[in-house]
A and B are shown apart, each in its own frame.
Chain A
Amino acid sequence: MKYSSLRQNKIFLVLSSLKITVGCLLLLFILTFWGTIAQVENGLFVAQQRYFHSFFFLASGRFPFPGAQLVLWVLFVNLLSAAITRYRFEWNNLGILLIHFGLLTYFISAFVTFHCVQESQLTLMEGAGSNVSTAYHDWELAVWQKTEGNKNGVIAYDISRESVGKIFLLTGDGFNIKVEEYYPNAVAYLSDVKQRPNTINDSGITTLKSTPGKRDPEKNIPGGIFEAQFGQSQVRKLLLYGGEDYPAKVVIQDREYFVQLRKKRFVMPFLLTLKDFKMEVHPNTQVAKSYESLVQVKNGDMERDVLISMNHPLRYKNFTFYQASYAIDALGREMSTLAVVKNFGRVLPYVASLITFLGLVTHFLGMGFSKKMGSTVRCSELRRSGKSVKQGSK
């Protein structure tokens, strides 16, 4: 297909309509307003999922309304079609072309961020360190064997309601775990009556009761009944609850395995240790004025101390650490929570901004230059015709 025929393609011509652009921008305005207001009622996560991450959602539970993801896709196709059908690839259009290329790069960076970003958090007490951050919403079933020191080789499976009935193959020697029941949000009870006879739970939990999910899904605590199998002969029933501090210990053929239902972990290729946490409050109040975490990044032989404070994140490799929260326990021990964002496309928005900026500069300089050139040409034409510029202006 030749480029000239592509420019005349009816589909591209329809898709490049300015009406679509204006319609999409209007819808984005409505969605942004609606989604922002809805956060008060439904919480940040639910509002994000419903208004911004969806293709469609039901307004008032009845009427389908396009979600921001669909609108952005349409806008992307619209812009791309416009670039194919309308713009002439000439030097005097370079500014406009760069601006639109910059806008398309914004879309690409939004796509990369939406699909590839990994958001989690890391809570450390002063002096503590870790190489894993914790997911906000996703959970995993983690199994490991006790090892010397602070390192554990973990085998983990992502777990959700869809995992019921599945068998997680853990070790080569035949230790598997079957998910019998799974409640995305549950309440654990310590009553005398056991929900299932012969179930093991190290915290004394006997019963799990499914409850409706909370407005903020981050606060949901799942639980479930699992069957630990070792070969065909040995079977143990486990009751696991996401709110337990300790993993369940399963001893099979003199081997100790630890099993825990916990928030999904993301591995960082370095160790982060909280050396010190400082918080300042406004005078005579308990309201935080500023807080900062002095952390040590250890990667192999490299050790580096970095101060993370509000609006001053740590960027290392593809990870960005923001000061998010803090806690002080009953003994006055301080803990700092860092929001961890892994995004290999984090440079893309900057690239898009730079391209758009260059496009604007090129466009306006070009306009100014051609104006100047136009007036110079007019002046020389007037001179040639025997009239001075002043005379002409009079």
Chain B
Amino acid sequence: MKVRYQICLGFFLVATLSSCENNEQKRFYTEIVVPSPLAERQDSTAVLEHPEIFLPSTANDEPSPKQSSDLKSGDNLTWATPSGWKEELGHGMRLVTFVEGEGKEKVEVSIVKLAGAAGDLQANVVRWLGQIKLELKDEELASFISRAKGINTDSGMAGKIFDFTLLQKWSAADLDSMMTAMFEQPDGVIFVKMTGSKKIVLSEQKKFEQLCHSLKIH
């Protein structure tokens, strides 16, 4: 083969290979997504993209916690109210209740301190699950409890946070949801509970954690 033909062949090869780069814009394809039978609910139109994404509540910067004037209950517990939350006086077993928003956008947070027997961890988690109409198998429940996030308050109290939105990943944003924290102390158990729609609970997660961090026994 003559050299000029060899060079032409070389250029043709380079041009052909260069065209392999996918510059195509519009594409048609048939997507097959077979949902797992383990999935709690997975719409065939839904694809899990970023399971850990967090949607902040406001376009403002990180909400700064507003220090409350040491609201003291009979149990000498204090906390710092996160900005934007309206504080209401406690009633019944509740030391305090915080609310924000109205109607479907409403979030309610309460702090309860129970002296003595308050049920074990599992019993409380099962009770909370029932409140948002969820039921788990034993092994699922054990797994959920074992994966609860640990938290240490600024004053050194150790506790656990149970994020029930993790169980509702494939559920609608307006479904009832909950986030709770449990601090076992020698003289009782402190519960912090936030209820609202999944969307609102997720959006208020940071403030909830701020509140938990600020808890202090005097």
Show the binding face of A for B, using Cβ within 8 Å.
Answer: 1-3, 6, 111-112, 115-116, 118, 123-132, 140, 144, 146, 149-158, 168-169, 187-191, 193, 202-205, 207, 209, 221, 242-247, 258, 260, 262-263, 265, 267, 271, 273, 328-333
Do B29 and A132 touch (CB < 8 A)?
Answer: yes
CA distance A169 to B48 in the complex (A): 26
On chain B, the residues within 8 Å of A209 by CB distance are 59
Closest to A242 in B: B49
> Contact: A271 with B32, CB < 8 Å?
yes
A189 contacts B34, C-beta separation under 8 Å: no
A221, B59: Cβ atoms closer than 8 Å: no
Which one of B110-118, B138-146, B179-187 contacts A? B138-146
The answer for the CA separation of A131 and B29 in the assembled complex, in Å, is 10
**B18: nearest residue on chain A (CB-CB)?**
A115
Q: Which of B33, B144, B199 contacts A203 (CB 8 A)?
A: B199
Interface residue B98 (Cβ < 8 Å from any Cβ of A):
no
Which residue on chain B has the smallest CB distance to residue A195? B59
Q: List the 9 closest A-B pairs by CB distance, nearest first.
A: A332-B143, A129-B34, A128-B36, A116-B20, A330-B166, A127-B36, A125-B36, A243-B53, A131-B32
Given contact pairs A129-B34, A190-B55, A246-B45, a sample of 6 additional A-B residue pairs in the complex whose CB atoms are under 8 Å apart: A127-B37, A155-B28, A156-B28, A203-B199, A243-B53, A329-B166
Given contacts A247-B46, A265-B29, contact A333 B55 (CB under 8 A): no
Chain B, range 31-80, C-beta contacts under 8 Å to A: 31-40, 43-51, 53, 55-59
Contact in complex: B199, A125 (CB < 8 Å): no
Consensus secondary structure, chain B interface: loop
Selected from A129, A262, A329, A332, the residue in CB contact (under 8 A) with B49 is A262
CB of B128 closer than 8 Å to a CB of A: no
**What is the interface of chain B, defined by CB distance below 8 A to chain A?**
3-4, 17-18, 20-22, 24-40, 43-51, 53, 55-59, 136, 139-140, 142-144, 147, 163, 166-167, 169-170, 173, 199-200, 203
In the bound assembly, the distance between CA atoms of A152 and B46 in angstroms comes to 11
By the criterion CB–CB under 8 Å, are B55 and A151 in contact?
A: no
A-B contact list, 26 entries, CB within 8 Å = A2-B3, A115-B21, A125-B38, A126-B36, A127-B38, A129-B33, A130-B34, A151-B31, A152-B30, A152-B33, A156-B28, A157-B25, A189-B58, A190-B200, A190-B203, A191-B57, A191-B59, A202-B173, A245-B169, A245-B170, A246-B43, A267-B30, A329-B169, A330-B144, A330-B163, A332-B143
Contact A146 B30 (CB under 8 A): no
Bound-complex Cα distance A233 to B26 (A): 25
